[in-house]
Chain A
Amino acid sequence: MKKYHLVRRSGQSIKRLLIYYLIGITISMGIGAVLLWSLGINPFEYYGRMLTIGMVGNKYAYKNVEGLLKILVPLLITSLALGLSFKMRFWNIGGEGEFLIGAISAAIVAFNVTGLPRPLTILLMCIAAMLSSGLLGLAVAFFKVRFNTNETLVTLMLNYIMLYLITYLGKTKEDWNFFLDPKSARPIFGKFPESAIMDGIKIGNFNLLWSVIIAVALIIFIYIYLKYTKHGYEISVVGDSAATAKYAGMKVSRIIMRTMFISSAMIGLAAGLTASASGTISETVTNNVGWTGIVVAWLGKLSVPAIAVTSVLIAILQFGCKTAATKYPSIDSNFADLLQGIILFSVLTADFCATFTLKKKEDAKK
């Protein structure tokens, strides 16, 4: 213990990083292969199905692309949004809660605003979602700058408050509860009216949802915002050192509150789009993007293009793991999650090893 300690490697080498990732993934998939083989399943077949997200031999292969995009869009937007706040060293782990309040607000609009054309209804839903989520994030930021509260704790706890709120709405059969399906004796969430459900561009059978296009536009927008605007520069300065920012005459509190509002509002947008695309809400509407997004943002090293690529890869991994399990009755989704966990964990370990190295204490002293 005394002799060795961790030292950050000098200089970032993309090549080294990729090699480490490759080694990590190979080891984890090897472990997975042993597990699969021990369960009497051909690992090559299984991985083949996993990496092609079950499209080979599928009667409706395009549906799998649609399904993949549906889980990708919220993950992508949420990861970008979380990356924005992390860049400022503001530990927003409240993606789940911000997503849920956004989805609830979008549903309030969807169930109560009728008779408007579809684009307008969906626009209103998204605005409601962005405002509610944004204000929630703003409140956290306000408490942080005003009373120096711990944003990690506050956002974490808000996640559970929002989760219980939506659970309450989904389980309470009362006359006032417009969220529920009026036709069902048991409480279940109702379906949005047709005008609140998102459509897309038809390419043959394939339906390209508008939310995908919005997400791509958002990547470009955030990239420009961070790289070429004053706001973007301010965020990175505050992230490096709040004291420096203050010394340079920046209004740190204002920057923190503004950025948190934008970050949470983006998560709200993701929620609004997701709710509209599924035509209803549920307790599991987030698909855990608030958590997964944290991993994606850090794996992408808070760089916009890298986050975009990482979220695509993670979405494929998630979707593929679930899909592969379907074919094998003895493999349940717990195994799929386990495999996904092993792969993700080894990538994180690879990342760590690529960044740090063990050095003897004497060497370090020299």
Chain B
Amino acid sequence: MEIYAGIDIGSVTTKCVILQGKSIIGKALVKTGIDTEKCANDVLDMAAGDAGIKVEEIQRMVSTGYGRRIFRRADRIITEISAAAAGGYILCGEKATLIIDVGGQDTKVIEVNGKGEVLDFLMNDKCAAGTGRFLEIMSHVFETDIQGFSQLAIGSESPVAINSTCSVFAESEVVSLIASSARKEDIAAGLFRSIASRVAGMVRQFRRYELTVFCGGGAKSQALKGFIEKAIERPLIVLQEPQFVVAYGAACLAR
């Protein structure tokens, strides 16, 4: 059976998924470093190792993500929007109508039709507000990682109101909140809620969101999922290992 690879070169991590026919036989994830092309090659080697195949056995490769053009071995280059749509749609049993992808640098909301084709999409503005990067910066303020930060937020009963969505200003707002002895849990929850409301604002611009899939690194956070669900008054479907959805979509488009 033919073998395909999808490589998603994101701003924070680089992911690779290898498909044989329709099933995933290997995957890998590395942090995106200064040498983006090397990262892409490394992650491909690792995924091939995971699959127990040689890179040469891969018939076609598709690259995506913000560094998609840097990977010169790709047979085809597509945007992460098309890849997320394909990945989310196929993985949820071809029923998705809306896909939310909270990545490191961008947050996207993508509407798909009954064939998994993109009908419309929205992306966040150029700054980090409402993205994974924002969460990362805030978790540093709390001296933890995103998972720890998410756990902290879940423990809150009354989230504080955070006004700044700019990561630089939010950081100083948080520092003054800490100084005013607000509970850490409530501050963390307030931050998640502020991102969730931005994402929800994008979601509400679409009319069809019966079946909404949540993917990207941000989907690993239970707190973020919870606050978005509350804001849009709909449950979200979080796929297993949501960080790989875009790379999986790229691999599917290589078929």
Q: Do A and B come from one complex?
A: no
Q: Mark A residues whose CB is within 8 Å of B.
A: none
